[in-house]
Amino acid sequence: MIDAARSMRVFEIRSYLLAFYDGRVAYRVFSEEPNWLDDGAISYGIASFAVIFGDEALVYDTHTSLAHARRVRAELESRGIKRMRVVLSHWHLDHVAGNAAFRDCEIIAHELTLEDLVARKTAIEGGTQEGPPAIDPLILPTTTYSGRMELSVGPVAVELRHADIHSRDGTTIYLPEEKLLLAGDTLEDTVTYVAEPARLTAHLPDLERMATWDIASIYPNHGSAERIGGPGYAPTLITSTQRYVERLLRCPRDEQLAGLALKDFMAEELAAGWIEHFDLYDSVHRGNVASVLGWRRRSTSGLSDTRSTHQLLDAELDRQREIERRRR
């Protein structure tokens, strides 16, 4: 394997905030055969981040490989950083692959992230969870939280906020001084990848909750280098994601909608500049639609319930919104 991190770039978003971006390159870093590192991360563009001040750093995700993580750590050490902590956005492989480079540091994650990693540890280390490359050893979180957790890096206030979007264990980082949101995979440009189709309706209440946060700029882990390395995304990225999920949920009862290409499916949001079209997301979208349609077929087949698919879907959405209303 060539140096997996050879094209990684470091962006100084603020004096206290760095992004480590790689991907959307013309070569493969692991194998010509299908694999999660090339096909699920590098090809789409991916970033991890670090909040820094003085000799402290809080690293948000350990990137897609041990090589990337070592480059991140080397960059931080070159800036005089001696004390490091890590926060994991969620359990997916392209966000935890470099944990071993920070095995001597506190690694913080939502309690569900630890649960999911423990359950899959053998498969991840054996390279059978998503196929190769294996992550061996997989270093687990040492500290967990639920709900919210407040931290600081020098004078920089940091809030960890749980968000059940994309995966049930999502952790976002909110920096209240400048109202910046490090979104992990809860938000993505061009569109979100549907990792949990059976729980898609559960993501909408947390998207609604996120839309109420006082946010100036959003930095997702997946998106364009120009935005992640620069001004970030406007809060309309949340609106775009909400609309995308809502349209996906309509696909089982709207054959014409389900058949639209991504550029037509998200035409209004693309025209407004809320998101940017990146060709590889065409296949992500087709997979998302197929995943939702397949889940609905499985969930409704053989049921004695006489309600239609869309009635079942709407009832589930109403149930999730009522749960969120009571939680507030």
Model pLDDT for residues 68-126, shown as the tens digit of each residue: 999 999 999 999 999 999 999 999 999 999 999 999 999 999 999 999 999 999 999 99
In terms of C-beta distances under 8 Å and separation of at least 24 residues, what long-range contacts does 157-163 make, across chains too? 158/51, 158/58, 160/87, 160/108, 160/110, 161/213, 162/110, 163/206, 163/209, 163/210
For the chain, how many structural domains are there in total?
Answer: 1
Q: What percentage of residues in the chain have a pLDDT greater than 90?
A: 84
Does any domain span residue 264? yes
Residue 252, preceding bond cis, omega within 30 degrees?
no
Residue type for position 99: N
Q: What's 124's DSSP letter?
A: H
Supply the range of the domain harboring residue 15.
Answer: 9-327
Q: What is the reported pTM?
A: 0.90
CA–CA separation, 154 and 143 (whole Å): 20
Residue 72 has, within 13 A of its CA and on its CB side, a CA count of 35
4 within domain boundaries: no
Phi and psi at residue 235, to the nearest 5°: -60, -15
What are the pLDDT digits (tens) for 173-197?
A: 999 999 999 999 999 999 999 988 9
In a domain, 3, yes or no: no
In the chain, the amino acid numbered 25 is V
Any idea what the CATH number is for the domain that residue 264 is in?
3.60.15.10
Is residue 1 assigned to a domain? no
Nearest partner of 38 among 47, 25, 50, judged by Cα: 25
Number of residues assigned to the chain: 328
Tens-digit pLDDT profile for residues 281-314: 999 999 999 999 998 888 776 543 433 334 444 4
pLDDT bin (cut points 50, 70, 90) of residue 53 is: very high
